[in-house]
Amino acid sequence: LEVVVPEVKIKGPEDMFVTAGSDLAIECVTKNVITKPEFVTWIFNGKMLVDVSSSLSSSCCSVTSLLRLKKVSMSDEGMYTCRPAGTKGEDRIVLHVLQPPVVEERMPSKLAKSDSSMLHMEIAILIFVCVSCFIR
């Protein structure tokens, strides 16, 4: 007699990092299954997810569930648990949402568009005025 225990694993690292606004698919694979589970429960921060975009596919001895998150935001950050029906196994990951980099324009647009020779002339005049103040 051989006892087969299902093994549940979410693919990827235990800590996932994703940029806000991007799409994400979390893949949960259950191996060593004799009968295909009717469904896979996804849990987010201890609460069961309902009406989620997920799909279930199976092969000879494994079942895969994909949880799809569209346009991830800061509210999606937290712990995700995959729990196939009819098994005692589960796996979890922690999702970290990163804000995309923000590019700031530091120079006033007028200065950025001006001719460089005008800029050099303005600096030269400023230096001359300051030096003449100290000579008196």
Residue range 17-47, pLDDT digits in tens: 999 999 999 999 999 888 888 889 999 999 9
Residue 96 in this model has a pLDDT that exceeds 80: yes
Its sign, for the CA torsion 42, 48, 52, 58, is: positive
pLDDT above 70 as % of the chain: 74
- Residues with Cβ within 8 Å of 4's Cβ and at least 6 positions away in sequence, in order, are 32, 34
What pLDDT score does 131 carry?
39
The alpha-helical segments, DSSP class H, found in the chain are 109-113, 116-135
Q: pTM score, two decimals?
A: 0.70
